Amino acid sequence: MSTPESVVTAGMHRGTTAIDWARFGKGLLAGLAYPIIGITALLAIWWLGGWVIASNPDTEPFAGFAPEPAFARLLELIANGYVLEASLPSLERIGLGLLWAIVIGVPVGVGIGIYAALREITHVPFQFLRMISPLAWMPIAVLAFATWDGAIVFLVAVAAVWPVLFSTAQGVRRIDPLWFKVAKNLGADGFQMLRRIILPAIGQDIFAGIRLAVGVAWIVLVPAEYLGVTSGLGYAINDARDTLEYDTLAAMVVVIGVIGFVLDGICVTLIKRFSWHHQD
Amino acid sequence: MSANISIDFITHTFKGQPAPTLENIELRIQPGERVALIGRSGCGKSTLLHMLAGLLMPSEGCVRIHGHQVSRPSAKWNMMFQKPSLYPWMSVRENAELGLVFAGQRDKDKIDRLLALVGLSDKAETNVQSLSGGQQQRVALARSLATSPELLLLDEPFSALDAFTRSSLQDEVAQIVGREQLTMVIVTHDIDEAVAMADRVLIMAANPGRIVGEVKVDLPFPRNRASAQFSRAREGLMTRFEQLVGGDGDRSQQQKEPDDANADAQQAA
């Protein structure tokens, strides 16, 4: 049998739950409001651009760029598997290029973060190489690699290595020197220092560098895939241009944007996961 | 086993500095002894402590523990710093057991016992960033004790804490050091801290850094700060410190004064 007190408590509990739901809904709306405004604005500009192109007889053949034909084509391309077919080779090249960038960038970044002499020695060469557009390496890459795929992975790696390297080095330089002193005092050897102190301390810096690298690599990938390959998103765009299928071209641009956004989201999640800054 | 320390005629000059920071330091510290180094800023107390820890090599002379020259850091002579310097991505337990992890000797029971000793059993799995300054220093203490050191070196470890936490930690550390039969050397600016924790207080003066005197503190542990004996010991140390270090205990200043007087006299003539 319920007492009057228990009814009141249950009522209060229900009331609290209702308020929490309301708050949750409000928070969700507040969180989504700005992205929705941004996306709407982007679509509006795109639609307006498409309308202007379609309204002008000189540019009317390019009307396929507008949102309606592009999205209609996109749905078709998803349904017939073309999007997946084009995306997987690109993702593989990006993945391999980033892997090389990390394999080279993280150890070298740790090295120049720790050793001032190495930092001084590498400063000029690295800044010089960093300033060269990765696409400028294209002819050399084509000569140096036996396959087109190898050349593209090389170009992606060349673009992606610098953000990873410099972000890692910066992270190492920001480590509290006392952490090294304490670890030494507790008997850490070089490998233990790297594994237990340096890498956890700079985890978020490494992933912040990878996030930047993904952006740069993704930008380089599309023109790199204009090279002799017959697969990938860059090839799909080039092919659509050659066959005057502008709706397909716009649809593939959307695919590139969406995949880039998802990759960035993965990087942000990893940065948060490896961030040790306390969050109350 | 407690560390038996001998410091043999240490002189140290930092790179790019014209004068030595430490000059001709000779000292013996008996096993199980609790020693405090006091002196004004810049007299080389922390430099000397870093040498005891093997974190800094002297330009001349050497530190020996059990007759062996200290040439590198070791978990057998552990140092606690002014900042707890905990690793913020680790829990209390992970921080405390780090020395054991480095040595490949994880020992959960030992860490549990140490966390109980420093009153942090209920926080073992908590991230260290959630702890107060005093609790963080307790974790640092547990971490220092986990490797069963023979010598505990304390570099002003409580100076950033509030007065209540500071005095309770001073008592706790002094008792733990006694119970675990460790040798302890503490660097401090605080006369009360020296009297509360040490059997012997060494007074250092600057320019160059040197030991100019020592005062024994012959009081039983735990020491009652409100007692007449404690006040007397404190007064005695204060007086001795003023006598020895005076204005600033700067030998170069003391030597300069007569010269300056002569120069003034010559100028007047």
Residues B250 and B126 in one domain: no
The answer, yes or no, to whether residue A118 has pLDDT greater than 50, is: yes
**pLDDT at residue number B247:** 56
Q: Which of B127, B148, B169 is the last residue of a domain?
A: B148
The answer to whether residues B202 and B102 belong to one domain is no
Rounded to whole angstroms, the Cα distance separating A253 from A67 reads: 11
* Domain range summary for chain A, segments of one domain joined by +: 4-55, 67-274
- The gap between the terminal CA atoms of chain B, to the nearest Å, is 66
The reported pLDDT for the residue numbered B52 is 93
Across the interface, whether the CB atoms of B102 and A176 are under 8 A apart is answered no
Asked if A200's CB is within 8 angstroms of B73's CB, the reply is no
Map residue A12 onto helix, strand or coil: helix
| DSSP output for B135-199 | HHHHHHHHHHHHT--SEEEEESTTTTS-HHHHHHHHHHHHHHHHHTT-EEEEEES-HHHHHHH-S
Averaged pLDDT of chain A = 87
Q: Do residue B182 and residue B138 come from a single domain?
A: no
Asked whether residue B10 is assigned to any structural domain, the reply reads: no
Smallest Cα–Cα separation from A35: which of A271, A266, A261?
Answer: A261
Number of domains within chain B:
2
- Partner residue facing B55 (CB), from A185, A189, A203: A185
**Nearest chain A residue (CA) to B78:** A185
Residue A27 binned pLDDT confidence (cut-offs 50, 70, 90)? confident
A89: preceding bond cis by omega (within 30 degrees): no
Q: Which residues of A touch B130 (CB under 8 A)?
A: 278
pLDDT for the residue A18: 57
Pairing of strands B183-188, B151-155: parallel
Residue B95 has pLDDT above 50, yes or no: yes
Q: How far is CA B81 from CA B138, B188, B199, in A?
A: 12, 11, 21
Q: Are A54 and A60 in contact (CB under 8 A)?
A: yes
pLDDT at residue A278, as a whole number: 63
- Asked if B213 and B94 sit in the same domain, the reply is no
B205 in the same domain as B111: no
Look at the block and give the residue holding tokens 């062996």.
B68
* Range B167-180 average pLDDT: 86
Domain co-membership, B134 together with B90 = yes
Domain-located, residue B96:
yes
Tell me if chain B has a CB within 8 Å of the CB of A273.
Answer: no
User: pLDDT of B37-94, one tens digit each?
Assistant: 999 888 899 999 999 999 999 999 999 999 899 988 888 888 888 888 999 999 999 9
Q: Buried b / exposed e across A187-226, counting CB within 10 Å, b at 16+?
A: bbeeebbeebbbbebbbbbbbbbbbbbbbbbbbbbbbbbb
pLDDT in tens, A165-211: 999 999 999 999 999 999 998 989 999 999 999 999 999 999 999 99
- Residues of the domain holding B94: 85-148
CB distance A152 to A233 below 8 Å? no
pLDDT digits (tens, 9 = 90+) for B114-151: 898 888 889 999 999 999 888 998 899 899 888 888 99
Q: Which two tokens stand for residue A11?
A: 């009522």
Q: How is chain B classified by DSSP, letter by letter?
A: ----EEEEEEEE--TT-SS-SEEEEEEEE-TT-EEEEEE-TTSSHHHHHHHHTTSS--SEEEEEETTEE--S-BTTEEEE-SS----TTSBHHHHHTHHHHHTT---HHHHHHHHHHTT-GGGTTSBGGGS-HHHHHHHHHHHHHHT--SEEEEESTTTTS-HHHHHHHHHHHHHHHHHTT-EEEEEES-HHHHHHH-SEEEEEETTTBEEEEEEE---PSSP-TTSHHHHHHHHHHHHHHHHHHTTT--HHHHHHHHHHHHHHHHHH-
Global ipTM = 0.77
Among A70-79, A86-95, B52-61, B159-168, which is the least confidently predicted range?
A: B159-168
Q: Based on the fold, state whether residues B50 and B162 are members of the same structural domain.
A: yes
- Fold classified for A67-274: MetI-like fold (1.10.3720)
Q: Given a cut of 70, is residue B246 above it in pLDDT?
A: yes
> For residue B116, is it within any domain?
yes
> Chain B within 8 Å of A190 (Cβ-Cβ)?
no
Per the CB < 8 A criterion, the answer to whether A129 and A166 are in contact is: no
Query: Distance of alpha carbon B32 from its chain centroid, rounded?
Result: 14
Same domain, B144 and B159: no
Same domain, B196 and B223: yes
Tell me the C-alpha distance between B172 and A239, whole Å: 76
Q: Does B7 reside within a domain?
A: no
Q: Is the dihedral of CA B10, B13, B14, B19 positive or negative?
A: positive
Q: Is residue B60 part of a domain?
A: no
Residue A9's pLDDT band (cuts 50, 70, 90)? very low
| Residue B18 domain-assigned (yes or no) | no
> Residue A11 — very low, low, confident or very high, per pLDDT cuts 50/70/90?
very low
Query: Is residue B11 one of the residues assigned to a domain?
Result: no
Reading phi first (left if > 0) and then psi (alpha if -120 to 50, else beta), residue A195 is in alpha
B245 and B160 share one domain? yes
Identify the pLDDT of residue A23: 79
Q: What is the CATH number of the domain that holds B189?
A: 3.40.50.300
Residue A129's pLDDT is what?
A: 93
Other Cβ atoms within 10 Å of A236 Cβ, number = 27
Q: Is the dihedral of CA A23, A28, A33, A34 positive or negative?
A: positive
Q: For residue B85, give how far its alpha carbon lies from the nearest alpha carbon of chain A (Å).
A: 6
Determine what percent of chain B is predicted with pLDDT higher than 70.
Answer: 91
CA distance B26 to chain A (A): 24
Alpha carbons A262 and B2: distance in angstroms, whole number = 59
- In angstroms, rounded to a whole number, what is the distance separating the alpha carbons of residues A170 and B228? 56
Do residue B144 and residue B51 come from a single domain? Answer: no
Q: Quick one: what percent of chain A has pLDDT higher than 90?
A: 57
Which of A179, A187, A277 is closest, CB to CB, to B87? A179
Is residue B165 one of the residues assigned to a domain? Answer: yes
Kindly state whether A27 is in contact with chain B, defined as any CB-CB distance less than 8 angstroms.
no
Question: Is the minimum CB–CB distance between A200 and chain B shorter than 8 Å?
Answer: yes
Mean pLDDT for chain B overall: 85
Q: How far is B80 from chain A (nearest CA, A)?
A: 8
